């Protein structure tokens, strides 16, 4: 029933975008959460060096590849006085246990089930994936069913590089455009956190790291990671009475104090949660990991305080155990950084409008490099790549949406050229 044919995209722009994307997907660059270095894998160096060469060929200024494989560059403006706009994209692809090697393919989707991999009989059936239905009649980039597609975030890398190429070739009116390609977004935004912001002097910036055409993200979670360590007392069981303190039972007591409905599987929209997602233990110690997520800064602070109170209660119930808690902020809500400078969001809204795209405003239940950049003083909302089913072998990218992503980015730069640095109306 797979009548869909392999087919090339229609326009020259689509050809350029898809050609680039396939070139970047051929570089294996999964990140590795278990590694302690940034970048976490050598493949991300390969991506960074490839992009560095391409930026050099385009003749960009201030090209710099740092010790963490963070690549930054500047395209000098053709006019004075426009805001310095940045674009940030990540070069890693996510490791969700699938193959690190990506074999993308173009298919003309006619509404019939898609056979992603005839050898292994991996199908993407419309009944199981109704998210395909709006794209009947379009050319899609799909996987071979053994890996993610990696449009997250190489579609963004392709959009930014293609945009730079256009700006260099055609020299329209624009201000300085800053670019940053960073590693290890998928494992805690490590690249954006490691970036030397002196190399990325954007007044505001954009990530292109959400999904379907129209998605508009100016709000992400505030995120923290808590680590609770329980140290008990070991003893031989034959003489354990009154002596042994079992850290596993103490940890279980703490876990029982969490609200069972305040979890990822019971919340959505703008609700936060606590997620117990790691427990290692032996006879002497137990270590519990908890992810804390909340959109609201006050709610976020209250969650942390509640966790500390639960730990204190558990400690008082087990006076012979030693319990410590450490809470580290991981990233911040992009919106926190947008309060004082609305220009990035106003320009993004204007670009969607000029392109005839209705913004689908989403409070993103995750973080982006923009969460790290916004927390560091560069307001950075997030626009769509056009791809769906991120982090899955069923990730796919409708080519027309990919083109629209490019067009919005190009429009942001074009509209930015019309804005003086003191454009009070949009800075409100
Ligand atoms: Zn991403």
The secondary structure of 68-129 as a DSSP string is T--EEEEE--SSSS---EEEEEE--B--SSS-S----EEEE--SSPEEEETTTTEEE-TTT-
Q: Which residue has the tokens 């090209």?
A: 63
Same domain, yes or no, for 127 and 147? yes
Same domain, yes or no, for 84 and 72? yes
Same domain, yes or no, for 160 and 302? no
Q: What is the pLDDT of residue 421?
A: 43
Give the separation between CA 377 and CA 203, rounded to whole angstroms. 9
Residue 388 lies in a domain: yes
Residue 174 lies in a domain: yes
Choosing from 289, 310, 330, the residue where a domain stops is 330
Find the 31 Cα to ligand 1 centroid distance in Å: 12
List pLDDT tens digits, range 178-206: 999 999 999 989 999 999 999 999 999 99
Same domain, yes or no, for 216 and 247? no
Residue 416 lies in a domain: yes
The boundaries of the domain holding residue 243 are 222-330
Residue 6 lies in a domain: no
Poorest-confidence range of 91-100, 276-285, 332-341, 392-401? 332-341
CATH code where residue 286 lies: 3.30.70.360
Same domain, yes or no, for 57 and 195? yes
Q: Clarify whether 209 is annotated catalytic.
A: no
Find the 418 Cα to ligand 1 centroid distance in Å: 30
Going by pLDDT thresholds of 50, 70 and 90, the confidence category of residue 375 is confident
Candidate list 153, 185, 215, 369, residue with the active-site label: 185
Residues having C-beta closer than 5 Å to ion ligand 1:
152-153, 209
CATH code where residue 381 lies: 3.40.630.10
Q: What is the average pLDDT value for the chain, to the nearest integer?
A: 94
Same domain, yes or no, for 182 and 252? no
Find the 91 Cα to ligand 1 centroid distance in Å: 9
Same domain, yes or no, for 297 and 319? yes
Choosing from 303, 330, 357, the residue where a domain stops is 330
Same domain, yes or no, for 202 and 273? no
Residue 1 lies in a domain: no
Q: What is the pLDDT of residue 425?
A: 36
Q: What is the pLDDT of residue 188?
A: 86
Same domain, yes or no, for 208 and 228? no
Find the 390 Cα to ligand 1 centroid distance in Å: 8
Give the separation between CA 272 and CA 219, rounded to whole angstroms. 13
Choosing from 280, 307, 330, the residue where a domain stops is 330
Residue 4 lies in a domain: no
Angle among Cα 141, 146, 152 to the nearest 5 degrees reads: 50
Residue 5 lies in a domain: no
Same domain, yes or no, for 257 and 361? no
Give me the phi and psi of 30, to 5 degrees please.
Answer: -60, 145
Residue 130 lies in a domain: yes
Poorest-confidence range of 3-7, 240-244, 335-339? 3-7
Q: Work out how many domains the chain is built from and give that number.
A: 2
Same domain, yes or no, for 266 and 372? no
Q: Clarify whether 92 is annotated catalytic.
A: yes
- Which tokens sit at 56? 């050099």
Tell whether the model's pLDDT for residue 5 goes beyond 70. Answer: no
Going by pLDDT thresholds of 50, 70 and 90, the confidence category of residue 230 is very high
Same domain, yes or no, for 298 and 397? no
More confident site: 7 or 224: 224
Closest CA to 102 of 47, 38, 45, 179: 47
CB 206 within 8 A of CB 412: yes
Q: What is the pLDDT of residue 330?
A: 87
């Amino acid at each position: 029933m797979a009548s869909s044919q392999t087919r090339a995209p229609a326009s020259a722009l689509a050809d350029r975008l898809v050609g680039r994307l396939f070139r970047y997907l051929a570089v294996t660059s999964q990140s590795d959460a278990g590694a302690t270095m940034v970048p976490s894998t050598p493949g991300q160096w390969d991506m960074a060096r490839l992009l560095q060469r391409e930026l050099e060929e385009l003749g960009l200024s201030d090209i710099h590849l740092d010790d963490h494989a963070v690549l930054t560059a500047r395209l000098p403006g053709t006019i004075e006085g426009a805001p310095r706009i940045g674009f940030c994209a990540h070069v890693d692809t996510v490791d969700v246990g699938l193959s690190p090697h990506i074999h993308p393919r173009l298919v003309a989707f006619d509404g019939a089930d898609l056979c992603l991999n005839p050898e292994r009989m991996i199908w993407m059936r419309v009944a199981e994936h109704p998210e395909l239905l709006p794209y009947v009649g379009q050319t899609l980039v799909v996987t071979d069913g053994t890996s993610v597609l990696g449009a997250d975030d190489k579609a963004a890398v392709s959009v930014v590089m293609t945009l730079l190429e256009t700006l260099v070739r055609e020299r329209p009116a624009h201000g300085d455009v800053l670019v940053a390609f960073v590693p290890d977004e998928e494992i805690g935004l490590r690249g954006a956190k490691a970036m030397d912001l002196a190399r990325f002097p954007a007044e505001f910036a954009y990530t292109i790291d959400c999904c379907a055409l129209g998605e508009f993200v100016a709000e992400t979670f505030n995120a923290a990671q808590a680590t609770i360590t329980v140290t008990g007392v070991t003893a031989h069981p034959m003489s354990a009475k009154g002596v042994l303190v079992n850290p596993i039972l103490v940890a279980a007591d703490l876990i029982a104090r969490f609200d069972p409905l305040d979890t990822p599987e019971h919340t959505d929209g703008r609700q936060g949660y606590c997620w117990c997602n790691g427990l290692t233990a032996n006879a002497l110690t137990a270590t519990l990991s908890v992810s804390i997520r909340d959109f609201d800064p006050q709610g976020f602070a209250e969650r942390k305080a509640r966790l500390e109170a639960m730990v204190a209660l558990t400690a008082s119930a087990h006076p012979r155990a030693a319990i410590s808690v450490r809470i580290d902020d991981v990233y911040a809500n992009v919106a926190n950084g947008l309060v004082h400078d609305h220009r990035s969001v106003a320009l993004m809204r204007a670009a969607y409008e000029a392109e005839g795209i209705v913004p689908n405003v989403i409070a993103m239940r995750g973080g982006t490099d923009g969460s790290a950049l916004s927390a560091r003083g560069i307001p950075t909302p997030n626009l769509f790549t056009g791809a769906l089913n991120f982090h899955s072998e069923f990730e796919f990218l409708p080519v027309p949406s990919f083109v629209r992503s490019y067009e919005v980015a190009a429009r942001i730069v074009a509209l930015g050229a019309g804005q003086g640095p003191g454009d009070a109306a949009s800075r409100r």
